[in-house]
Amino acid sequence: MCIGEEIIRCIEDSAVIILAVSKHFYQKEWCRKEVQETYDQNKPIVLLFLEKVEPDEMGKVLLKLFSRYAHASWIPDSNGGHIEPDWSILCDALLDLTVNKSDNKTLKWLELNWCSS
């Protein structure tokens, strides 16, 4: 199986997609393909920004996703870094997106336990 087919399969099998976005993310062909495939499949997305990315560095589809879906930022600090908004808020957003897309009760329970710990 080629990488493109594997990317499509993984996106199809996912309830929610988390994209770790850097300044150079959208310059990479495979990253653009992942974004487009996720968008085409109408999958819920959480954007995790690893650094400040200007709107003109995002590309049209990523910019549209930024305005539509939950997003978070990685903030470096003396302890290595942390997520903003807080993990609990991000987990709540993930749960909301997952519950709306999945009928699998076990998946919901596992995700709730992971986010609560």
Matching residue, tokens 């709730």: 112
- Residue by residue, pLDDT tens for the chain (117 residues) are 677 788 888 888 888 888 888 888 888 888 888 888 888 888 888 888 888 888 888 888 877 877 776 677 778 889 888 777 777 776 777 677 666 655 444 444 344 433 333
Biggest alpha carbon–alpha carbon distance for the chain: 42
Give yes or no for a contact between 26 and 57, defined as CB atoms under 8 angstroms apart: yes
Whether the Cβ atoms of residue 83 and residue 100 lie closer than 8 Å to each other: no
CATH of region 3-85: 3.40.50.10140
pTM score of the predicted model? 0.63
